[in-house]
Amino acid sequence: MRITRKPLSRRTVLRGAGTAMALPFLEAMMPGAYAADIGARPKRLQVFYSPNGMTMPEYRPTGEGTAFTLPPTLEPLEPHKDAITFITGLGHPQAAAMGDAPAGHGRSCPAFLTGAHARQTEGPDIRCGTSMDQVFAAHLGDATQIPSTELSIDLPSMAGSCDINYSCAYTNGISWLTPTVPLPVEANPRAVFERLFGDGEALDEKSRLARLRKQASILDFVMEDTARLSGKLGMEDRRKLDEYLDATRAIEKRIQRAESSPPPAQAASMTQPAGIPDDFAEHVKLMIDLQILAMQADMTRVGTFMIGRELSNRTYPEIGVPDSHHMLSHHGNNPEKMRQLAKINRYHMTFFAYALQRMKETKDGEGSLFDRTLVIRGSAFGDSNEHDFLDLPVAVSGGLVQGGRHVRVEHGTTMSNLLLAGLNLLDVPVTSFGDSTGPLQELIRA
């Protein structure tokens, strides 16, 4: 590693045997006059997606403007209420059948970030639209080592049909690089970690295997380079570097525990993918923390996270819900099934609250990662029993928008207007997106 006169190159890395580890965003990387200027720091985008819709009566806030209260599903977000804008009335008209088969998930999921109508097909000729996150990633170009991260809790389904006459490619993820290229999601924390802290894509295979056998830390490989760099940094940068390295080691230990923990007795006949914790909550938090670490290092500024694949049949016995999520979403207005679905929805909100808290407590210069991040949380359906794609449960947060509001827009207003406004807030000079009619003024107006 070569240290030059300040400002330190944004491409500076810590090097060791078979390893190249990115640095967090340091004051030394900025011209002195701008080091404390939060406006000069990079903007980021994070999307948090939950599948299978909502029990809307338990979700929708009461009251409007700043005078609103949170219903049971949203109560976990109370500590962040002043930082969130809840928007009622947004939909995706492009998720309508338009003469196609009466499927719902296969059209609504791909429309979520694209505002486009998915081509009905079970074959390789899939087509939808470029997603909003990838428009932002393309705008950033090569500003970061990794253009974007697409994380999930569920492994992708096998090729074929997952919804009626619709390819599984439409429900495995929400990010589309182009109208014909959906981006694959990654559910294995070990794979994510190695992508972040390898030589740009993956660790040297020999070194990776040696480290796994020893249960060694990546930090052990770059210790000498770390000491050399630390001596040339100011006090605040040394503190930030120490926090970053501590967070990296903590995540490593959690991944190692997941890999070494024996599977539960009932899973004895199953092959557990290495690095994926058996505990759902630990898995979710680990994936969120990996995204936070990637942003902290400015390895990427764009991330999407699916807490469940669309059509997910996961059960949640840990919260007293032994039935399948997707099955419960088709509750037929059965009160008990609706109650169980609401418990899942609320449980997912606890992890969204966790993500917001982690962004708020992670330093970024004089502020935090939260200050310069646009956060979008949503689902492809409102009322899951009806596959209602015209009243979506959408919330927006982050320091780039005014929070503490419940905003109602005309029912069925295309969510593409919100995605367009989001791109403008991220300084992407576009005037249209998907089926937008203009940027959503309620988002960009203070």
- pLDDT digit of tens for each residue in the chain (446 aa)? 344 445 666 556 555 544 556 666 666 666 554 444 555 689 999 999 999 999 999 999 999 999 999 999 999 999 999 999 999 999 999 999 998 977 789 999 999 999 999 999 998 899 999 999 999 999 999 888 889 999 999 988 755 558 888 999 999 999 999 999 999 999 998 888 878 765 434 444 455 444 444 445 555 555 556 666 666 666 767 776 676 676 666 666 666 665 555 443 333 333 333 457 889 999 999 999 999 988 988 889 999 999 999 999 999 999 999 999 999 999 999 999 999 999 999 999 999 999 999 999 998 878 899 999 999 999 999 999 999 999 999 999 999 999 999 999 999 999 999 999 999 999 999 999 999 999 999 998 65
pTM recorded for the entire structure: 0.82
Domain range summary for the chain, segments of one domain joined by +: 1-35+190-263, 41-187+280-444
Among the CATH numbers 3.40.50.300, 3.40.50.2300, 3.20.20.140, 3.40.720.10, which is that of 41-187+280-444?
A: 3.40.720.10
**What is the 3-class SS of the chain, one letter each residue?**
CCCCCCCCCCCCEEEECCEEEECCCCHHHCCHHHCCCHHHCCCEEEEEECCCCECHHHHCCEEEECEEECCHHHHHHHHHHHHEEEEEEEECHHHCCCCCCCCCHHHHHHHCCCCCCCCCCCCCCCCCCCCHHHHHHHHHCCCCCCCCEEEECCCCCCCCEEECCEECHHHHCCCEEECCEECCCECCHHHHHHHHHCCCCCCCHHHHHHHHHHCCCHHHHCHHHHHHHHCCCCHHHHHHHHHHHHHHHHHHHHHHHHHHCCCCHHHCCCCCCCCCCCCHHHHHHHHHHHHHHHHHCCCCCEEEEECCCCCCCCCEHHHCECCCHHHHHCCCCCHHHHHHHHHHHHHHHHHHHHHHHHHHHCEECCEEHHHHEEEEEECCCCECCCCCCCCCCEEEECCCCCCCEEEEEEEEEECHHHHHHHHHHCCCCCCCCCCCCCCCHHHHCC
